[in-house]
Amino acid sequence: MKVFIDANIMMYAAGVEHPHKEASIQLMRQISSGAIEAVSNAEVLQELLYRYSKLRLIQEGVALVQQTVQTIMSILPVARLDVMVASELLTKHPQIEARDAVHAAIMFNHGVTHLYSYDRHFDAIPGLTRLEPK
């Protein structure tokens, strides 16, 4: 089963000490070893670059993106259909954020139903199962 990996997993794994850090590191190790078949998308990579550039940590952000694409071999694009499906999801579930709707749309359009994320907004989207690293 393919599992989508949200940006917050990589951020916690690479970030400062936090209660989610160790579990996120362990999840990334499982992905790297092939124990978990993971996918992500181009929007996640953009989120990483955006967040680190806002913190003026551009080199760290670039390094994290490079590490992510080496660990998660399947990075899905954001296509026109994904944006259309995301628009429908936002209409039906206005409590979710736009980028989460884009992630969900890409997942639906690629047959992925499970994701690792600490973002509880995903719980409001029927058909998705959010997992937290343990």
User: Could you tell me the domains of the chain?
Assistant: 2-76+112-131 (3.40.50.1010)
Look-up of token digits 């070893």: 33
Pair of tokens at residue 39: 């996918």
- Averages of pLDDT over runs of 10 residues in the chain (134 residues) are 98 97 98 98 98 97 98 97 98 95 98 98 96 97
pTM > 0.75: yes
Q: Does residue 5 contact residue 122 with C-beta atoms inside 8 Å? A: no
Residue 129's SS3 state is strand
